[in-house]
């Protein structure tokens, strides 16, 4: 449950992005004055969440690299993941839509599932959030936006459009994650070529630090994390651009793999 302000009328920027996403239509330029702060970006994001006809099933985290991290006062940004854009991985590749002329990428991720609703406070750390986590899964975040330049104008622009999220593919549960999390490794392949290797150690502070950041941020925004929600903790091999027709495989070694294929969006693709 959110106790954030009701912004159901939406800002012009939020309306433009949500309408473009629902239509599967690219936005050639940023649809308004670019936000200069993350606070302004999250106001736009809150407007867009209120306009989007689906519930928030979880959140994604994305890294803010130097020098933007110092300039914007944060090392990460966050965006919502909506329930209809959470897909379960199976034997067949998962098909996901990309907006022609927009932005799309795949990211190998470690996904945390909350076992209880988090107390509404700040001051969270990687150590204090650990008891809140029930399970950890392998996953692939589908990054996506109608605006092809979403990542080229600074983190506030990225955050304003759902944090550049378009979905999450949820894979197998990671066994004995409390003992193994920091040492987990993975790789990403697109069209048969390995384009990224990494693991949980590539996420600054680790996946639990991502959760701590998110809880502190959502407290500031008047939102809470609920039991059962999913947290995609950050790109573990990098952010890998993809276009319709390409296939990707995220390989998590003994913890399984996730295959997916990009197809042209037909509207309502978050």
Residues 26-69 pLDDT 10s: 999 999 999 999 999 999 999 999 999 999 999 999 999 999 99
Structural domains of the chain, ranges and CATH numbers in brackets: 12-264 (3.90.850.10)
Regions of the chain short of the pLDDT cut 70: 1-10, 267-270
Longest dimension (CA), the chain: 47
Separation CA 193–CA 7 (nearest Å): 44
Two tokens at 204?
């600054």
Do residues 103 and 74 lie in contact, with contact meaning Cβ atoms separated by under 8 Å? no
Cα 49 to Cα 70, 81, 120, 198, 228: the distances in Å are 27, 10, 20, 32, 19
pLDDT of residue 115: 98
Two tokens at 210?
């991502």
pLDDT of residue 268: 53
pLDDT of residue 3: 38
């Amino acid at each position: 449950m959110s106790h954030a302000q009701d912004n159901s009328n939406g800002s012009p920027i939020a309306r433009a992005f949500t309408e473009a996403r629902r239509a599967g239509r690219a936005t050639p330029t940023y649809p308004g004055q670019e936000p200069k702060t993350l606070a302004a970006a999250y106001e736009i994001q809150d407007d867009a969440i209120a306009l989007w006809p689906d519930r928030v099933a979880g959140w994604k985290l994305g890294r803010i690299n130097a020098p933007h991290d110092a300039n914007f006062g944060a090392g990460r940004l966050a965006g919502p993941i909506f329930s209809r854009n959470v897909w379960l991985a199976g034997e067949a590749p998962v098909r996901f839509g990309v907006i022609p002329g927009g932005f799309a990428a795949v990211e190998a991720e470690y996904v945390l599932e909350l076992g209880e609703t988090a107390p509404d406070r700040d001051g969270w750390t990687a150590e204090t959030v650990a008891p809140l986590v029930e399970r950890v899964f392998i996953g692939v975040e589908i990054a996506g936006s109608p605006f092809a330049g979403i990542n080229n104008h600074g983190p506030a622009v990225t955050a304003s459009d759902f944090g550049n999220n378009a979905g999450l593919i949820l894979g197998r549960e990671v066994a004995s994650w409390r003992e193994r999390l920091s040492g987990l490794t993975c790789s990403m392949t697109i069209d048969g070529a390995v384009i990224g290797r990494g693991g949980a150690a590539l996420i600054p502070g680790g996946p639990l630090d991502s959760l701590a950041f998110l809880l502190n941020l959502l407290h500031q925004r008047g939102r809470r994390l609920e039991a059962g929600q999913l947290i995609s903790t950050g790109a573990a091999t990098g952010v890998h651009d993809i276009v319709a027709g390409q296939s990707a495989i995220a390989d998590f070694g003994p913890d399984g793999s996730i295959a997916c294929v990009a197809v042209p969006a037909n509207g309502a693709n978050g």
